[in-house]
Amino acid sequence: MRIHQVLNMKNRSLKYKWMLGTSVAIFLTFSVFAVAIYQGVSTMLLNEEKSKVQTALNNVTFSLTGKSWHQVNATDFPIDSESLNENIYNRGLIVRILKPDGSTWYPAQYGGEQQYNIPLEKVEAITVKETVNKGSRVIVGIKPVLENNAKIVGYVQVINPLTSVNSLMKYLFWTLLILDIIALVFSAILGYVMALHLLQPIKDLARSMVNSQENGFKARVKNIDAEDEISELLTIYNDMMRRMEVTFEQQKHFVEDASHELRTPVQIIEGHLNLLNRWGKDDPEVLEESLKASLFEVNRMKKLVQEMLDLSRAEQVSNTAELQITNLNEAVEQVKRNFEILHDDFNITYDYNPDIVLRSLILRNHLEQILIILFDNAVKYSNGLSEINITLEQIGNRAVIKVKDHGVGIDPSELDKVFNRFYRVDKARTREVGGNGLGLAIAKQLVVSYKGTISADSVVGEGTTVSVSLPIMEEEVIQTARKKPLKKNKL
């Protein structure tokens, strides 16, 4: 049960998993290299020892060839002792000379004190192989001794006990094993230190998330000076928290502003109703005035609610609206004609190149809504100068629509605020002409949703120019898009 709990990684911390993974990886890698080194050294040494045995076989056989060694006693046989000393004695080899029937003729044991009684394996040519004798590895070499290069008159057997090799390989084995254990401990420590270092930003991230639950969206994580995935994650998180904070503040201000804007007409209606309830209902003049004022405020509330709904839809347009290719020339011309009918006292000019048709990926009703907001503001703040100039031109790969009025203008310090919700430069004048300060906010949200930009340029007393820039659809893209059916927009 305890082993299962130790091996169960599901409930372990990431630091533990990282340390264990690093340790196992380094341990296995080192083990593979250790096994490879061990096998390589073992093979090299065995080949060298086999070469020694083969050399000894050849030397001893050469000493016996051409001599009637099998017809005399072994003690009386003259062997080149100097050659044997060089090739056998000093190399720790054991030599036996055997008769053809396998009996020992010369049980010489040079270079070793232990007797190895290994049965004769009759062969016709030199043979060297590794075998096990009494639990130890040995190399046994056998070569026949020929008389007149034809008849086998005996055999030379050379045994290599591998004493030095076995000792060396045993030392190498324990050395590699100890190094492997050291590598395991070192890798565990290294993995733990690396886990502490690399996971610290994630701990900070988790701590920041907990703080955000308690203290809102102001919590931030200190970014690390690196260009890795963790640094990217922290950057994304900080950016997300910043956006959430901005969105939260905007929603907070939106609710506060909406409550304030709705409170005023409600209080006005309530005041008139209380007036009528006390005594005004008996006075026809007061009754008529109160009803007109209440209806005016009700209509203003309806318009405010509708604009708030439009703004909410504009914020979701990138997720809910289907794509549509719109002819900008025709859309601007259509809205211009409509305003000329509504405001026949205004001189509205439209400057564009009829030979160049500009198209953009935007729903036509959204583009018309943007233009209506801009045209309506130009009319409201014309300050008696009934002229509006509209231009449509191509700048690079973007179409730019400009709406210019010749009215009161806006102070440069206010320009960056006119696209905020419920913002009005001159609140007194705004109440005269109507409006809740949401029009340009709606226009900006729609433009941004279609990867466009909107900006304002103004001179006080001379007028204001609002510019809308939208990406142009190339003809090749348009032809490809037209082959695909467009879904009906649900907005």
345 domain residue, yes or no: yes
Domain boundary (118, 147, 169) is at: 169
β-strand 398-405 against 463-471: which pairing, if any? antiparallel
Burial label for 276, CB within 10 Å (0-12, 13-18, 19+), is: middle
The reply to whether 102 and 19 lie within a common domain is yes
Domain boundary (282, 315, 348) is at: 315
Q: From CA 424, how far away is CA 77, in angstroms rounded?
A: 128
Domain boundary (255, 289, 315) is at: 315
87 domain residue, yes or no: yes
The reply to whether 308 and 358 lie within a common domain is no
The reply to whether 46 and 150 lie within a common domain is yes
Please tell me the pTM assigned to this model: 0.47
Query: Where do we find the tokens 């310090």?
Result: 413
Supply the range of the domain harboring residue 392. Answer: 321-482
Q: From CA 93, how far away is CA 113, in angstroms rounded?
A: 10
Q: From CA 174, how far away is CA 34, in angstroms rounded?
A: 11
183 domain residue, yes or no: no
194 domain residue, yes or no: no
The reply to whether 249 and 325 lie within a common domain is no
The reply to whether 156 and 243 lie within a common domain is no
- Any idea what the CATH number is for the domain that residue 458 is in? 3.30.565.10
- Any idea what the CATH number is for the domain that residue 157 is in? 3.30.450
pLDDT in tens, the chain (491 residues): 454 444 455 566 766 777 777 778 888 888 899 899 999 998 999 899 898 888 888 887 777 776 666 555 555 554 555 555 555 655 678 888 888 887 777 665 544 445 667 777 888 889 998 888 777 788 899 998 887 767 788 888 888 888 888 888 899 999 988 988 888 888 888 878 877 777 777 777 777 777 766 666 666 666 656 666 667 777 777 788 777 777 777 677 667 766 766 776 787 788 878 877 777 677 788 778 888 888 877 887 787 677 667 666 665 555 444 567 889 999 999 989 888 888 888 898 999 998 889 999 888 888 888 898 899 888 888 877 788 999 999 999 999 999 999 888 888 888 878 887 777 665 544 445 555 677 788 888 888 888 899 999 988 888 899 999 999 987 655 555 555 554 444 44
The reply to whether 298 and 373 lie within a common domain is no
How many domains does the structure of the chain reveal?
A: 3
**What is the gyration radius of the CA atoms in the chain, in angstroms?**
50
The reply to whether 347 and 380 lie within a common domain is yes
The reply to whether 346 and 309 lie within a common domain is no
Give the count of beta carbons closer than 10 Å to the beta carbon of residue 53.
25
Asked if 129 contacts 45 with a C-beta cutoff of 8 angstroms, the reply is no
